[in-house]
Amino acid sequence: KKPDFRTSQKVEAPVLYNKTYQFMGDSTALIDTTSGDLDSLFTVNGTNNFITISKEQDFEFGDLNDAVPAVSVEPTEFESEVGEIELTDFSSGGGDLGSANIEEVTGSDPNLVPAGTPIPAGNNSASPVRIGIGANTDFFQSATIKSGAMAVQLSNTLGFDFETATIQVIDTVTNTPIGSAAEFSATNGNQLLDDATETASITFSEGDELRNLGVEITVSWQNFSFPADPQALTVNSVQGENLIVSEVQAALDEQDFTTTSTATFGDEEFEFTSPNHFVQLETGRIIVAPVENEMEFRITMEIVFTDIRECPASLVGNNFVTNNDPLTIDYSGNERIRRANGGVSGFSPEANISLAGCKLYATNNEVAYTISATTENTKDAAPGDQVRVINETQAISSSVEISNLQIQEATGIVKQQIVLLNDEDAQDADDDLDLFNDNEAELTEIDGLSDLSSQLDGLNFTNPRLSINYTSDITVPTTIYGAFVGINGEGEERFLRGLAGEEFEVQAGDPIDGLQIRGTDLLPEQMIKFTLDTPETPGDS
């Protein structure tokens, strides 16, 4: 048998092979960072070749303009009644108002009684003298009295003295007395002697009606010799003495009336608690509706808005404005208030005035204004147009609207304002913002990160940081609440939130209403907040 020289041995020898692979780089590297998908993803530090993944993204958050409180003013109506009407002149003063001769006073006819004939003492109480003066009181037709008196001036040129003379104003149609009687006598120190003039004061009561004016005169006398040339007992004039009427048909002097009113600012946004608090307006208008005039008088009127000052734009091209500090609106000339006619009210044009640049000082959230009006003096009108009817309840009225106010600057106590910064979806009927409504939320994607994640498993970031820069020109502290959600490689949602107990944590009581995710309110732990410090200079970040 042949010997078997085959052997079986196991030899172990190490095989060593060193190979270096470039992890990131050009097309020869494991991950080509120069490719179109990844070229904007990486930043390389030139000194130590340290690679960072970063992304700068501009979010269109919107601005805080809507957080600037809007000042709203409720339209206010004003009405200024005539009120007290003072009646002064009853005639234009062209001559005496009426007279009586000696026969009408004593019953003795000068054609039958020779001069020097003794006349016994007596009186005319059985047949008083009645002198109608209504036809000659061209400035007066009728009036309803509230209070006051009438001064009646009489002259005696009959040629003998009156022992007494009782004067009574009457209605010559009904012969009824109006007001109290006045008496001339030696006892009263106003005896109406021959060739003398005296004035009687007739006092009226509220409700007395003056119409068909006349004067009834009852006289008494002592023995006298019948005069050779007797003249007359004359009513020279009648004049109002603090004579206040509620309604009058007459020619009247100017009547002045004044009223004050206020326009109120809502206190939901601002509180003006100091006289130094104000709002300076970027834009705005004050509109005074056409002033309605119920009176048969042309009226000039001035409205002074004492709390609206320094209005540079109001004088430009506006005939109503006569002063812009304070704002003063004048109704005169072509802008006057027309008179009523035939029971139909007259009107003024509408006053529409720019408030751009104006400062509104609204202590206690009120803007005050004063209305002063003056009626025309109808005595200066043409004959036949002098007598007008005026009633104390007649009024001028209008409304004041301060609208379209945009604030440029405000000094006062600012209430908390809550606004949504993203744009509302026009197709969305509610007033909420939904994180997964692409028309309301801001969307961003870090280019290439998705491709990188698909090539590397278990990719984690160290020291990730999100920096948010916001610019505000509001000089009050502002807190912004936001929801940031990211989708990882597994499709899971991850929310950015503040750490518990830290300044960025959103609390359950924070004002986060209106922020939703898929129609459900976001939870505080799904949100983050940050505060904008008050900038020293508006416009600073």
pLDDT digits (tens, 9 = 90+) for 401-448: 888 878 787 776 665 555 556 666 666 666 677 777 777 666 666 655
Give dist(CA 147, CA 241) in Å, integer: 10
> Is the pLDDT confidence value at 8 over 70?
no
- List pLDDT tens digits, range 179-225: 999 999 988 889 999 999 999 999 999 999 999 999 999 999 999 99
Quote the pLDDT of residue 211: 92
Higher pLDDT pick, 15 / 234: 234
Q: Name the residue among 213, 282, 203 with its Cα closest to residue 244.
A: 203
Q: Where are the beta strands (DSSP E) in 289-365?
A: 292-293, 299-305, 308-309, 321-324, 327-331, 346-347, 351-354, 359-361
Pairing type for strands 31-32 and 24-25 reads: parallel
> Is the pLDDT confidence value at 28 over 70?
no
For the entire predicted model, the pTM comes to: 0.56
Q: Domain extents for the chain? A: 86-250, 255-414
- Please report the sign of the dihedral spanned by the C-alpha atoms of residue 497, residue 502, residue 506, residue 508: positive
Work out the pLDDT band at 178, boundaries 50, 70, 90. very high
What share of the chain has pLDDT > 90, as a percent? 33
| CA angle (57, 54, 457) in 5-degree steps | 120
- List pLDDT tens digits, range 345-391: 999 999 999 988 999 887 888 888 898 888 889 989 998 898 888 88
For 278-301, letters b (16+ CB in 10 Å) and e give: bbbbeebbbbbbbbbbbbbbbbbb
Amino acid found at 537? T
Give dist(CA 178, CA 169) in Å, integer: 5
Higher pLDDT pick, 541 / 167: 167
Amino acid found at 372? S
| CA distances from residue 145 to 17, 208, 326 in whole angstroms, order as listed | 129, 5, 40
What share of the chain has pLDDT > 70, as a percent? 72
Quote the pLDDT of residue 327: 92
Higher pLDDT pick, 84 / 166: 166
Q: What is the mean pLDDT of residues 107-122?
A: 95
- List pLDDT tens digits, range 290-305: 999 998 988 889 999 9
Instruction: Using DSSP, state whether 136 is helix, strand or coil.
Output: helix
* Mean pLDDT score of the chain: 81
Work out the pLDDT band at 541, boundaries 50, 70, 90. very low
Quote the pLDDT of residue 484: 82
| CA distances from residue 176 to 130, 171, 208, 215, 252 in whole angstroms, order as listed | 11, 5, 11, 11, 26
Q: Which region among 155-169, 320-334, 503-517 has the lowest average model confidence (pLDDT)?
A: 503-517
> Is the pLDDT confidence value at 127 over 70?
yes
Quote the pLDDT of residue 366: 82
Q: Which CATH architecture has domain 255-414?
A: Sandwich (2.60)
> Is the pLDDT confidence value at 17 over 80?
no
Quote the pLDDT of residue 292: 95
Quote the pLDDT of residue 41: 60
- List pLDDT tens digits, range 475-486: 666 777 888 888
Q: What is the mean pLDDT of residues 495-516?
A: 84
For 191-230, letters b (16+ CB in 10 Å) and e give: bbeeeeebbbebebeeebebbbbbbbbbbebeebebbeeb
Give dist(CA 178, CA 133) in Å, integer: 14
> Is the pLDDT confidence value at 468 over 90?
no
Give dist(CA 103, CA 124) in Å, integer: 11
Q: How many CA atoms lie within 13 A of 80 on its CB side?
A: 24
Quote the pLDDT of residue 404: 80
| CA distances from residue 507 to 136, 497, 503 in whole angstroms, order as listed | 89, 11, 10
Quote the pLDDT of residue 177: 96
- Torsion angle of the four alpha carbons 523, 524, 527, 528, in this order, in degrees rounded to the nearest 10: 180
Quote the pLDDT of residue 347: 95
